[in-house]
Structure 1
Amino acid sequence: MLPQEIIRRKRDGETLSAANIAAFVNAMSSGTITDGQVAAFAMAVFFNGMKRDEAVALTLAMRDSGDVLDWSDLPGPVVDKHSTGGVGDNVSLMLAPLAVACGAYVPMISGRGLGHTGGTLDKMDSIPGYISQPDNALFRKVVCEVGCAIIGQTANLAPADKRLYSIRDVTATVESIPLITASILSKKLSAGLNALVLDVKSGNGAFMAKNRDAVALATSIVEVANGAGLPTTALLTDMNEPLALAAGNAVEVKNAVDFLTGDRRDARLESVTLALVAEMVLSAGLATNLKTAMEKTKTALNSGKAAEVFGRMVTGLGGPADFVEKVDQYLPVAPVKVEVRASQAGYISSTDTRAVGIAVVALGGGRIRPQDPVDHAVGITALQPIGAKMEKGEPIALVHARSDSDAAAAVSAVEAAYHFADKKPRTVNPVLRRIGS
């Protein structure tokens, strides 16, 4: 069928066959259709949606547009996690080695920062020597020998998704649940997983700020993933404040190392990380129930085994052999540090989490344009949580900046993002809901 006929059918609200979708994706991959036709298809899906079977067909066609990794030679289950993105969300850095310490293998293909949210790959790039985009041979070697590797998407994994996403990004069609679902899952399916766990964020620091939208996205991904043959569950988690007490790149790596070694563990971060790893352990068949999976996860963390795995992964991908032991000697440090002080006394009642993320981007810790470089040293630490009791003038955060002017702008932004009340607010469990079998 002609590409324009496929577009017309979806424009008119018809259901596309798997063959029609595969043909369109093949044409998109081979370059035989124009960017305008791809954009028209994306807009038609944006307005008319897709049924589950259509979303499954789109996901599988995009998966099959490139390489599909095979880990059948590994002696254990292959699992991964995907987060929809947040502020201070460095979960992946602890989750991958924790899952390995519990007996799983984690070939984690991550992304860079998007909008106000931080990217796992940008965090790993703050480690000197770390090869975040290795060839497939090194990727496989590290996964086989260490158990996990956190890397970026290679050119041959779901290339159709790369083209479609780049066009969606400039045609106001990013926020389509079927297209988000296919984009996420095509990459995860191409990674050759046995099971997947999702961390879908909801709140003022999430892309899906409303709970109902986050639930709709999580449900879509779980249903399509299972329809495509990938056992998947999801946790809905709160992003109405930064997850960790640090937001940036090097500062979040430092926070992750402190977490793994036991030097410091932020309460909300620990709750979400352990819950996600326990889901991975259960879905991988390494525990018979969630309680046993959680016990196994806590043991792996407290034994120090996960910290050891993280260190070996860093070394295997070109980083320092003693990175975990001497983390402060290796990470870049911003030259200017300025405290953000409470504008009034009282309890922290709410945080504009997106504003905190934007402040990190403005410091240079994220990108305004895709080609922009990232300053790995800048960020914000010591972010006080909702419910903390503060005196006027007491520090609520610490800005790490490249210049005095950058620091002053960030201080103003963070100060405005914090709100106070006379009464202590009710605290929220960061794990809101589980979606799946």
Structure 2
Amino acid sequence: MTYLPQEIIRRKRDGATLTAPEIAFMVEGLTAGTVTEGQVAAFAMATFFRGMAIEERVALTLAMRDSGTVLDWSDLNGPALDKHSTGGIGDTVSLMLAPAIAACGGYVPMISGRGLGHTGGTLDKLDSVKGYQTQPDNALFRKVVRQMGCAVIGQTADLAPADKRFYGIRDVTGTVESIDLITASILSKKLAAGLHGLVLDVKTGTGAFMATLDASRALADSLVKVANGAGLPTVGVITDMNEPLGTAAGNAVEVQLAVDFLTGKRIDPRMWDVTVALSAEMLVLGKLQPDYASAKAAIETAFTSGKAAEIFGRMVAALGGPADFVEKADSYLDRPAIVRPIHAETSGTITAIDTRAIGVAVVAMGGGRVRAADPIDHAVGFTTLAGLGETVDASRPLGVVYARTEAQAEAAAVALRQAYALGSSPVRGPAVIERVTG
């Protein structure tokens, strides 16, 4: 059947529920260029205001998945599993989770993204590891997943290409903040990765894209329902981002924090809670463990035995990084000239943190992008960030800045002080808030 783009746009504008063939027609036209950018923008705006039913979201997700290559992992000896985070500050969970799942018999072909806005990207972090290939060819990607059990890489051009074009149009037309379109964007890439199970880490709080719990629940519910409706077993977990998840924010400094976690040198309690919770959910989804308690115990053993650290080191080497990276990470990661503590102007207990502002401060130093083509300075950032409920004084700083210049360090100090509120009655909730099954 032949459709007219303008008629599909009109129907959505007027609040109609589109059919799967109508949605597929728009996505195919988007990919082939037979539907104009103006028409795609109008479709996005109509969707933004009118919304989509769950069946429409499923149809859009599947059509975008099918716009390119869909990977097949049926040759593996276990399930292909993954997790996706909606983005936060100090969140290095992927770097620990992937090898831990591999240590428990799963396979993690993790296709990650770069930084978005104030949030850090897993690929930008891994780019701070000299030699590591974040864009390997498909043959190397499959080889590393098969042999090491995990590989963390970037999205290739042939995976869900409709999403890349659609997002570019949404980005310049004010239609990014649509749960319907966010859902399809995230899940089309995950479905194209050929997964057998997915866990979604949906952040909430001052450092999250969804700042309120209600908004985070709505997004998590949409993601879980659409993923399961598209045939991918999925569970969501809402986690707290009212403070940085780990005590470092930046690229190289977060990689060092991940290595310290894996080797047991330093484990931030909230990072542990989130990493173990997400990993345990993955093991249950993949039928590698019968229940959550057994899965949690298996993940904890993967870390405490050193097996996860060993697999991480082998993965880094297999993708071009140093063979002894885990043992000598500090000598391979770039460190800037200026490293100094930032103290609060007065002593006190931390009662609130503008977590987003910390991420923005890292971006301002060059640790993130203002424009898509901007280079990243992987060395800049913060370490030993104080958390909610901690007392800061002359001996305990708010954090330590890693900067290239005095001007950078001074600006970062101002931003960090402004991000923290001091008082006497802190409120700190759990790192893992709730589970969402849809």
- Relative to the length of structure 1, the TM-score reads 0.99
Structure 2 Cα separation of the partners of residues 393 and 381 of structure 1: 15
| Superposed displacement of residue 392, structure 1 | 4.9
Q: Which consecutive residues of structure 2, in runs of 5 or more, have no partner in the other structure?
A: none
* Structure 2 counterpart of 1:374: 376
Deviations along 1:166-202, one digit per CA (max 9) or x if unpaired, are 1111111111001000001000000000000000000
Q: Is the 8 A contact 2:343 2:393 kept in 1?
A: no
SS at match of 1:160: helix
* Structure 2 counterpart of 1:434: 435
Structure 1 Cα separation of the partners of residues 396 and 300 of structure 2: 34
Query: 320, 323, 327: which is aligned to 2:322?
Result: 320
| Superposed displacement of residue 339, structure 1 | 1.4
Structure 2 Cα separation of the partners of residues 164 and 246 of structure 1: 33
Structure 1 Cα separation of the partners of residues 266 and 417 of structure 2: 25
AA aligned opposite 1:432:
I
Deviations along 1:295-344, one digit per CA (max 9) or x if unpaired, are 01101110000001100110111001000011011011111112110222
SS at match of 2:311: helix
AA aligned opposite 2:238:
L
Structure 1 Cα separation of the partners of residues 197 and 279 of structure 2: 12
SS at match of 2:223: helix
Structure 1 Cα separation of the partners of residues 164 and 18 of structure 2: 22
AA aligned opposite 2:118:
H
* Structure 1 counterpart of 2:280: 278
Q: Is the 8 A contact 1:343 1:392 kept in 2?
A: no
Q: Is the 8 A contact 1:342 1:393 kept in 2?
A: no
AA aligned opposite 2:180:
P
* Structure 2 counterpart of 1:399: 401
SS at match of 1:57: helix
Structure 1 Cα separation of the partners of residues 396 and 18 of structure 2: 59
Query: 34, 37, 43: which is aligned to 1:35?
Result: 37
* Structure 2 counterpart of 1:156: 158
SS at match of 2:382: strand
Structure 2 Cα separation of the partners of residues 310 and 344 of structure 1: 42
- The percentage of counterpart residues that share the same residue type is 63
Q: Is the 8 A contact 1:343 1:393 kept in 2?
A: no
Structure 2 Cα separation of the partners of residues 373 and 255 of structure 1: 23
Deviating above 2 A after TM superposition, structure 1's stretches of 4 or more consecutive aligned residues are 390-394
SS at match of 2:202: strand
AA aligned opposite 1:312:
R
The residue correspondences of 1:130-141 to structure 2 (distance < 5 A) are 130-141=132-143
Q: Is the 8 A contact 2:95 2:258 kept in 1?
A: yes
SS at match of 2:349: strand
Structure 2 Cα separation of the partners of residues 217 and 318 of structure 1: 37
SS at match of 2:236: strand
Structure 2 Cα separation of the partners of residues 286 and 164 of structure 1: 36
- Relative to the length of structure 2, the TM-score reads 0.98
AA aligned opposite 1:430:
A
SS at match of 1:350: strand
> Does the C-alpha gap of structure 1 residues 349 and 54 become closer, same or farther in structure 2, counting only changes over 3 Å?
same
AA aligned opposite 1:11:
R
Structure 2 Cα separation of the partners of residues 386 and 395 of structure 1: 13
Q: Is the 8 A contact 2:343 2:392 kept in 1?
A: no
Deviations along 1:88-126, one digit per CA (max 9) or x if unpaired, are 011101010111111100000000000000000000000
* Structure 2 counterpart of 1:88: 90
AA aligned opposite 2:338:
V
Residue 199 in structure 1 maps to residue 185 in structure 2 = no
Structure 1 Cα separation of the partners of residues 362 and 392 of structure 2: 23
Deviations along 1:377-405, one digit per CA (max 9) or x if unpaired, are 00110101111122257411001011110
Query: 422, 426, 434: which is aligned to 1:420?
Result: 422
* Structure 2 counterpart of 1:341: 343
SS at match of 1:395: coil
* Structure 2 counterpart of 1:244: 246
The residue correspondences of 1:86-235 to structure 2 (distance < 5 A) are 86-235=88-237
SS at match of 1:192: coil
**Deviation larger for 141-150 or 338-347:** 338-347
Structure 2 Cα separation of the partners of residues 408 and 154 of structure 1: 39
Structure 2 Cα separation of the partners of residues 4 and 157 of structure 1: 27
Kindly report the root-mean-square deviation, in angstroms, between the aligned alpha carbons of the 2 structures: 0.9
* Structure 1 counterpart of 2:309: 307
Structure 2 Cα separation of the partners of residues 29 and 215 of structure 1: 31
SS at match of 1:199: strand
AA aligned opposite 2:415:
A
Structure 2 Cα separation of the partners of residues 50 and 209 of structure 1: 22
| Superposed displacement of residue 345, structure 1 | 1.7
SS at match of 2:398: strand
Q: Is the 8 A contact 1:348 1:421 kept in 2?
A: yes
**Deviation larger for 330-339 or 390-399:** 390-399
Structure 1 Cα separation of the partners of residues 392 and 378 of structure 2: 30
Q: Is the 8 A contact 1:248 1:365 kept in 2?
A: yes
Q: Is the 8 A contact 1:64 1:158 kept in 2?
A: yes
Structure 1 Cα separation of the partners of residues 168 and 341 of structure 2: 38
Structure 1 Cα separation of the partners of residues 205 and 165 of structure 2: 29
AA aligned opposite 2:401:
V
* Structure 2 counterpart of 1:21: 23
Structure 2 Cα separation of the partners of residues 111 and 50 of structure 1: 26
